[in-house]
Chains A and B, each alone.
Chain A
């Protein structure tokens, strides 16, 4: 019974350590998405560098990535080589969702830019960025006002969605994609989802 006197505080201490360890290693920026295993929200957005629009239904039957990016997003630059490598290896189609290209840039004042100028500016800036850093995308769509971003629950660019053949979101990665995340988290799931 005497041993209990010492064991109880020790047990409480161990419990605290476990809770704190877990709490400190969790990233509060990574909020679990409620969209996992749900159908991708529908949208029709203009394609960068063409007059066409793209709808996610067009890729039904394929496993694909939807990568949210913008030229003003610093972390996007960081993850971009990983995407370029994925694009080169032709692992799966990667669609870019250019998120608030003009309005998201803190250095521009969107109230002084009219809609037509914004559209042209967004296309120009996005194309230039892809020319400079490489274009891994099957195509990129422009979400100028970020409304499709809201439907997708985007709150921090970059974000990457893995979408299955039925058009359901299977995984969402928040923050820059790294080689490690790609090979340990994405690839196994891609293999499982592909026939």
Chain B
């Protein structure tokens, strides 16, 4: 009597697949959505430029998310998808700019400024070290007077 149940399962399988196809693309593949969300955090929405592609509700962001889903379905990895978008929208879509000639000042600038600041600090500190103290050391007579004043009972 086990046979009919097995057959029923066989009949049911394609039915389930058919239903899945009708479901909204959002619910279709939670793994892909997770991937899209992770990748989208590093991508800039071009319309509302201070929002990531994952967070933005702009129509273009929705279009681009759809495009990314298609790229995922084609088996592209994250770097390839990033490349696909950079080809069309430029490095601007990346929140993390790539290290190359034109972005070198961007990457190295802060370190150069830090080195400059440290250099200035070192020079200033050295100068200060060689300088004479501001107040002259009191002479013997004054020191004697001071000791006497301190020894006196109030």
Contact A150-B49, Cβ < 8 Å, known A34-B86, A34-B88, A35-B88? no
A165 proximal to B (CB < 8 A): no
Count of inter-chain pairs, beta carbons less than 8 A: 41
Flag if A155 contacts B87 (CB, 8 Å). no
Instruction: State the Cβ distance, B10 to closest chain A Cβ, in Å.
Output: 34
A21 to B63 alpha-carbon distance, docked (Å): 35
Q: Which of B60, B64, B91 has the most CB of A within 10 A?
A: B60
Q: Which residues of B in the span 120-152 have a Cβ within 8 Å of any Cβ on A?
A: none
Flag if A155 contacts B47 (CB, 8 Å). yes
CB within 8 A of A34: which of B49, B64, B89? B89
Instruction: State the Cβ distance, B26 to closest chain A Cβ, in Å.
Output: 12
Instruction: State the Cβ distance, A181 to closest chain B Cβ, in Å.
Output: 21
Task: Please count how many residues in chain A sit with their CB below 8 Å of the partner chain's CB atoms.
Answer: 20
- The secondary structure that dominates the B interface is helix
A61 proximal to B (CB < 8 A): no
B46 proximal to A (CB < 8 A): yes
Residues of chain A contacted by B89 (CB below 8 angstroms): 31, 33-34, 153, 155
A11 to B91 alpha-carbon distance, docked (Å): 33
Q: Which residues of B in the span 56-105 have a Cβ within 8 Å of any Cβ on A?
A: 59-60, 63-64, 67, 86-92
Write 5 A-B pairs (CB below 8 A) sorted by A numbering.
Answer: A32-B92, A33-B90, A104-B59, A145-B63, A156-B46
A interface residues (Cβ-Cβ under 8 A, vs B)? 28, 31-35, 100, 103-104, 106, 145-147, 149-153, 155-156
Across chains A and B, which 3 residue pairs bring their CB atoms closest together, nearest first?
A155-B46, A34-B90, A153-B88
Q: A31-B89, A32-B90, A152-B88 are in contact. List 8 more A-B contacts (CB 8 A).
A: A28-B49, A31-B46, A33-B89, A34-B87, A34-B89, A145-B63, A149-B63, A155-B60
